[in-house]
Structure 1
Amino acid sequence: MNTRVRARLGLAAALAGASTMIVELAAVRVVAPYFGASLTVWTNVIGVVLFSLAVGYVVGARLARSERPERALSVLLALAALVCAWIPWLAPAACRAFLPEGLALHEAFGLVAWGSLAATGLLFVPVAVALGAASPLFAEAWQRSSQESAGAIGGRVLGASTLGGLVGAFATPHFLVPELGLRATYWSASVALVVAMLLASFRSGPARKALGARILAVLGALASGGFTVAEPAPAEGWVELECVESPYQRVRVVENRSGAQPARLLQVNEGLDSFQSVWSTEPGLLGEGYYYDAFALPPAWSATGGSWRLCVLGLGAGTAFRVIEPTLPKSVRLDALGIEIDPMVVELGKRWFDLVEDEHHRVLAGVDARTALRANPGPWDQLVLDAYANQVEIPAHLSTVEFFRETRAALAPGGWLSINVGAFGCDDPIVRALAETVAVAYEADALALRIPASRNVVLFARRDAAWLAPTDAGWRVAALDAHGLLSKATHPANWRRFAPPEHAPLDDDHNPIDRLQLDSLELGRARLSELH
């Protein structure tokens, strides 16, 4: 076989493999602004792509019987290039068709699984089928110009496409999406496919090269800004201040300008009516409906002087710092460490949420909370766990009895663990599982406190000390009850004590946290239906 032709086909197969991985890995980021990036959405995307590739392999096998397989290969690569370039523009309409705007998180629960599956199918089946069909055509075109066996040629084609896929797998999350954005990421895949088409057209005339030039012209028109992508709009009365693509998620800052005082929220991915961080013009308590105020209770109950050593796992844009510090007793200074896995969130916090970083407010960005806690073992007076992936997903490794034992070891005697749990009451299945797991780790009862006018429950546990119950004297701290958080907690439905069971429900070996979170959303939807 001609060495030059073999090199051209091998490089074309590698480019097609790279494009396939780019399309698949970036697909979740395309639908995330509407459906999130939960395990369900990831499963739907991977399932759709794998099924489409399988269909493509069968289609390619039939096309390989044709007289000129390289011609069919060129057409398929050209088709894949065009469809790939249009995906970011088609995504908003496809996603909105299955997820109407204005839904609350629990209202959208039933639509996320099937809606993301349907939208993913509309957007990615055509390009994935075309890319799947290309693989057997590469092998057929190679074999017809060679005396090698089918096995040898198949191995070389698979090797080239897999190496290309490896490049695409690393480039997509580490460079393309965070540095270039989704539109440019899909343009890159389209350009790679056009180049692959031209390389594979080694026996075609000028018509195939002219087709490649036309496709490149279309890509150039898209890149020049002639078309715009409609992003999900903020809720009525809110304006978007900044929106970025980080290595982990789509992040935006929105501001409410309809009230007397502006308020800002940091939202990720689908947003809906949820948020990750809050800013108001004055630091301190935020008021009813904001769980952050509950984080100020432990120092109000037990801080006596000196410094209050605080570690926040899941800092976000720094709301916990802004709420806790102004509410400390006058004789107490805050010494805080915030740990946030997404560096872009920290940057937005500094720009829009008054996040301060100095000797008393340290920030570690780009590191996992469990790993960072081991490197910063305290002792701490308070650990705040507010780490979420997307909207409702508590990372599994931050919800196990082994991890909570690590938090207990990092606390000073009498120190507090405070956990934000997205839930629909103290009887929520995820609250029970987490609270009982914490109770086993701390060898003591855990307290669940429902936050009025919110979908949040805050859990409390102490190392080697008892906590105050809402029925105990000293529960109310006048300075912190301006919005009724402590007084409303005395209602039996708003708090619950969880004793340690014989075995922890969640551990590193067996952790059904994903199922529990889906059960929680189903509970919220059922309760909403009862109200109507």
Structure 2
Amino acid sequence: MSNRFLRVIVFSAGFASLGVELAASRLLAPFFGASLLIWANLIGVILIYLSVGYWLGGKWADRDPRAQTLLLILAGAGLAVGVLPFVAAPLLALAIPALAQFNAELGLVSFLGVVVLFAVPVTLLGCVPPFALRLAARDVKTVGATGGGLYALSTIGSILGVYLTVFWLIPTIGTRLTFMVFALVLLGVALAGFLLARRALPALILAAFVFFTAGFALVQRGASVKPLPNVIYETESPYNFIQVVDENHLRLLTVNEGQAYQSVYYPNAILLGGYWDLFLTTPFLTDAAPPRSLLVVGLAAGTVSKQFAQVFPAIQIDGIEIDPAIVRVGRELFAMNEPNLNVWIDDGRAALHKTDKRYDVIVVDAYRQPYIPFHLATVEYYQELRAHLTERGVVAINAARTPHDARLVEALASTLKQVFPTVLLLDYPNDTNTLILAAQNEIALSDYQARLAQIQTEPLASVAAIARANVRVFDGDGMLLTDDKSAVENLIHSIIFDATLLAGENK
């Protein structure tokens, strides 16, 4: 086998290895999310498998230094990559009831089972560079240059795999077909190697596998990644796995692991019977007059913006949403077409750096429950929010809790308290959501309740009554979150773990 073709093999293996890792994150995200913990585990096990592959490949090459063996390794990796998302499907299906029921054992089995499935393809891909080096190194005097060149090609292939996966493959054809593309590349290179070596039988077998893989990919195109009842739309973006559910004309938007609904839409309805309704009462914390301006950080498909536009028709609304695919879903499936709504496609913090506008109300609902982008929950971020408030301005933040654990709410409220003199908590009854309200002036709880009591017109009067009965002053002492030190994900993991233990004790 020529050194030129060895370079093609090494390049293709590098291309697939990082591409498979990124595709693996999207395979897991609809079920387990995309938190730092998931990424750490995924990157860690991939590195372990590659390390084993490097060691095994070197040993294997010394014992059986034949080009045919290297081609079989590459073909085996291709087959394993191709079947991986489909073999993983039953294990991933276990995660849905596990997460819904706080079943840690079942959820852990599901996650570890899927991660273990990556052992075969990634380890085999790790075998390729040392094996290729053993075949290419014909003179000990140039082995350093030969090895450096091969590993450089492998790295360049990995770079291409990263960018092609993130910016084209996953957004265009989805996660499962992305795995199939990598499988076809590896099988195709192995097939070409056998044809060049004039090995008819292996070439014929591989050609059959290539044909089968390509055909199976075409058949599976459009199949649901995470089947749920009543799903009417499903897509993947560089940021999220997105699903829309329709239950008797009630539209629900869910992303990634789907443990919460990011948006709700019911035609001709203003109040939706959830925590979103309570946001409508937040302007009255500081003033009885209708608000003139609203900023929504985490617009999603426009539930909050639509409610404000319906109740306060003269209000001007800016909405920040990082994922353009979600904005498109909002416009096409959630009637997010209010004339007074201006949408910014941007990060919820970076966008603030680009404007000096001030708002009567800032709603922050960018938290993909149960996880929170840490940079949207720190003292420094809350200082930036305060700088964008009018004199009467109010910040309202949605936070999740369990029936027995409000540590996340307390951490966010304590962090807000470092910036705002008034911090109130507003629970939605029989729910696990709390709104945290903050004002830049001292506001008495009784004054807020009095303004709510004066609201007599529907639909605002009914939700004002709920808010008046469930609002309280925050007087706790939770964890302080800063840009330099934010343990918010560890806190959330602890809450989930404790909830799991409590659920197990109550069975």
TM-score of the aligned structures, taking structure 2 as reference length: 0.91
| Corresponding position of 2:127 | 133
- Distance change >3 Å, CA 270–CA 44, structure 1 → 2: same
Decide which of 384, 391, 398 is 2:376's aligned counterpart.
Answer: 398
| Corresponding position of 1:171 | 164
| Corresponding position of 1:387 | 366
Per-residue Cα deviation, 1:365-413 (whole angstroms, up to 9, x for no partner): 2x11101112123211111101124x31110111110110000000001
Q: Secondary structure at the match of 1:251?
A: strand
Give 5+ residue unaligned stretches, structure 2: none
Would you say 1:277 and 2:263 are equivalent positions?
yes
Name the aligned partner's letter for residue 241 of structure 1.
I
Query: In the aligned structure 1, how far is the partner of 2:64 from the partner of 2:498?
Result: 59
Contact 1:439 1:498 in 2 (8 A): no
Name the aligned partner's letter for residue 489 of structure 2.
D
Following TM superposition, by how much is the alpha carbon of 1:307 offset from its aligned partner in structure 2, in angstroms?
A: 5.9
| Corresponding position of 1:142 | 136
| Corresponding position of 2:255 | 268
Query: In the aligned structure 1, how far is the partner of 2:461 from the partner of 2:285?
Result: 16
Following TM superposition, by how much is the alpha carbon of 1:211 offset from its aligned partner in structure 2, in angstroms?
A: 3.8
Per-residue Cα deviation, 1:203-261 (whole angstroms, up to 9, x for no partner): 563344334322321222213317985643324xxx1110001111210100112xxxx
The alignment covers a number of residue pairs equal to 504
Contact 2:410 2:476 in 1 (8 A): no
Q: What RMSD over aligned residues (CA atoms) do the two structures have, in Å?
A: 2.7
- Distance change >3 Å, CA 338–CA 113, structure 1 → 2: farther
Matches within 5 A, 1:146-157: 146=139, 148-157=141-150
| Corresponding position of 2:188 | 195
Query: In the aligned structure 2, how far is the partner of 1:385 from the partner of 1:223?
Result: 41
Decide which of 293, 296, 311 is 2:277's aligned counterpart.
Answer: 293
- Distance change >3 Å, CA 294–CA 180, structure 1 → 2: same
Decide which of 412, 417, 431 is 1:439's aligned counterpart.
Answer: 417
Following TM superposition, by how much is the alpha carbon of 1:427 offset from its aligned partner in structure 2, in angstroms?
A: 5.8
Following TM superposition, by how much is the alpha carbon of 1:454 offset from its aligned partner in structure 2, in angstroms?
A: 1.8
Following TM superposition, by how much is the alpha carbon of 1:59 offset from its aligned partner in structure 2, in angstroms?
A: 1.7
Per-residue Cα deviation, 1:59-82 (whole angstroms, up to 9, x for no partner): 212211134432221111101111
Contact 2:61 2:131 in 1 (8 A): yes
Q: Secondary structure at the match of 2:115?
A: helix
Structure whose residues are more often helix by fraction: 2
- Distance change >3 Å, CA 148–CA 111, structure 1 → 2: farther
Query: In the aligned structure 2, how far is the partner of 1:223 from the partner of 1:471?
Result: 59
- Distance change >3 Å, CA 106–CA 420, structure 1 → 2: farther
Query: In the aligned structure 1, how far is the partner of 2:19 from the partner of 2:199?
Result: 30
TM-score of the aligned structures, taking structure 1 as reference length: 0.87
Give 5+ residue unaligned stretches, structure 1: none
Contact 2:30 2:226 in 1 (8 A): yes
Contact 1:425 1:450 in 2 (8 A): no
- Distance change >3 Å, CA 377–CA 117, structure 1 → 2: farther
Following TM superposition, by how much is the alpha carbon of 1:8 offset from its aligned partner in structure 2, in angstroms?
A: 1.8
Decide which of 37, 55, 59 is 1:58's aligned counterpart.
Answer: 55
Matches within 5 A, 1:320-469: 320-328=304-312, 333-356=314-337, 358=339, 360-365=340-345, 367-389=346-368, 391-424=369-402, 428-442=406-420, 444-466=421-443, 468=445
- Distance change >3 Å, CA 256–CA 424, structure 1 → 2: same
Q: Secondary structure at the match of 1:224?
A: helix
Following TM superposition, by how much is the alpha carbon of 1:134 offset from its aligned partner in structure 2, in angstroms?
A: 1.4
Would you say 1:490 and 2:469 are equivalent positions?
yes
Name the aligned partner's letter for residue 142 of structure 2.
S
Name the aligned partner's letter for residue 65 of structure 1.
D
Decide which of 247, 250, 253 is 1:256's aligned counterpart.
Answer: 247
Q: Give the % identical residues.
A: 29
Would you say 1:116 and 2:97 are equivalent positions?
no
Contact 1:357 1:363 in 2 (8 A): no
| Corresponding position of 1:17 | 14
Contact 2:405 2:495 in 1 (8 A): no
Contact 1:20 1:128 in 2 (8 A): yes
Q: Secondary structure at the match of 2:366?
A: coil
Q: Secondary structure at the match of 1:22?
A: helix
Name the aligned partner's letter for residue 163 of structure 1.
I
Q: Secondary structure at the match of 1:149?
A: helix
